[in-house]
Structures are given as structure tokens and as C-alpha cells.
Amino acid sequence: QSDTVLVTLADGVLQLVLNRPDKLNSFNEEMHMALRAAFERAHSDNSVRTVLLTGAGRGFSAGQDLGDRDPRKGGPAPDLGHTLETFYNPTLRLIRSLSKPVICAVNGVAAGAGANIAFACDIVFAARSAKFIQAFSKIGLVPDAGGSWHLARILGEPRAKALALTAEPLTAEQAAEWGLIWKAVDDEKLLETAHALALSLAKGPTRGLGLTKQLIQAAATNSLDQQLDLERDYQREAGRTKDYAEGVTAFLEKRPANFRGE
């Protein structure tokens, strides 16, 4: 197992810590593969009921490791379409398709693909000192890791274009005000706040939560009619889970529910 991503599982929470602090947790191939493997595990391991993603050190992630893209080393220009298809896109798809909540605790600067991986998570907390930077335009690239999609969809064209074209840092507070993240929290409270929510969701009705995530994501491209049909289908599925039966029973018996993720 690679130490570029520290993985621990406790009480249903799979905690993933990006761990190349000397390089502000920028992505080399090893870290890509480790993060992808961790999300693959989150898909297949039933004991994982929530994922919590954060970074070691003073940054969350500075995106691609540019040391691995040094043109001065010679050789042909890299095929960045290939690196997106091989490394970033599969991880993005794994995060979005995971039928379990993914919480992100942005502990410091999140730049380039680092910012956009955070925006792909389901509930994002950021330390008040953290900044989000669409750094791509500074080096002649375009937003990736789903950033062009998330920014345009959440912010609309004027703000999305300005952020992407200027690479102006966005504060955590502003990101929260604009709806890009859930909350900005005091630096020293970040991890405990994110972890408390992760723990509480991990004790929740996992299948219902997963369906809820998928339902809300589907709304981005569905018509109201399609969405009503999907609500019907997912509610049917949720209504057949043991956790639903437990939730209703616990309510009627005036006691806390004991969900098992089934």
C-alpha cells in the first residue's frame, strides 16, 4: 500500500489523507493510483459507509505535480488527454458514482485539479484559511477534473469564466457563499467537524443516502418528468430496505434508529 494516501477505516468511515505534504499533496502517478484504489475499495467494501477525504500538512492539494511535467527534461510533449482519461477522470467518476456520502475537509490551498476534486465531493467543509484556485490558466491549461462542469453549473457562466480565466484565489467563505462548498469552518475545528458528520452519516441508512445522492446528481440533466419518475423508482427501492423498516419502527417506538446500511 502506498503512503501517498493514508487510508484508515473506523466506525464505517473510510478516511483518506492525501499525503505528499512537501509538494502540497500534488498528484504524481503513485498518488493517483492510491486514491483511485481507495475509492474502488469504498465501492466494494460494505463496511465502508462514508468516505472522508482530506490532506496532510498545510495544503489540501495543488493539483497535478508539475515536476512530472517538466519540459526541460526533453522528450515529446505529454498527451494530457491521456493522463486525464487514465488518472483524473476515473477517480472523478468513482466519487460521483459511489452510492455513499463523500465528505471533503479542505485543510488548506486547493489548486487546479485539487480544487475540482474537492468540488466533486458531496459535502465539502473548508478551513477558513483555505483558498480555491483554478490555477490552470496560469500555465496554459483548461479546467479539468470536472471543474468546468461544476463551476459553470453551480456558479453560472460569469463567475465560472472569471475564476477560470483569472485564476484568482477564492476564499473558503466566498466559496461557501457562492454555494461551491457546504461550510467554511475555523481551521482548528475543521477535521473534528467533518469527522463528526462523517461518523453520523456512517450510522445512517446507507442505501437511502446513496440513492439520495444519485437522485440529486441526476437532477442536473433530467427534466422534471424524468426526475419524478426517478423519485418514484428510488423511493420504491428505498422503501424495500431494512433501514426504512427500522427507521419507521424506531419512530413509532420513540427510540433512536439503529441503521445497518441494509
Q: Which stretch binds ligand T3D (CB under 6 A): 18-26, 217-225, 233-241, 249-257?
A: 18-26
CA 104 to chain centre: 6
Site for ligand T3D in 32-61 (CB under 6 A): none
C-beta closer to ligand T3D: residue 78 or 239? 78
Q: Does 80 bind ligand T3D (CB under 6 A)?
A: yes
Site for ligand T3D in 138-167 (CB under 6 A): 138-139, 141, 144
Among 136, 182, 244, 259, binds ligand T3D (CB under 6 A): 136
C-beta closer to ligand T3D: residue 65 or 122? 65
Query: Residue 127: phi, psi to the nearest 5?
Result: -60, 140
Q: Does 112 bind ligand T3D (CB under 6 A)?
A: yes
Q: Which residues bind ligand T3D (CB under 6 A)?
A: 23-24, 26, 62-67, 69, 80, 83, 109, 111-113, 133, 135-136, 138-139, 141, 144
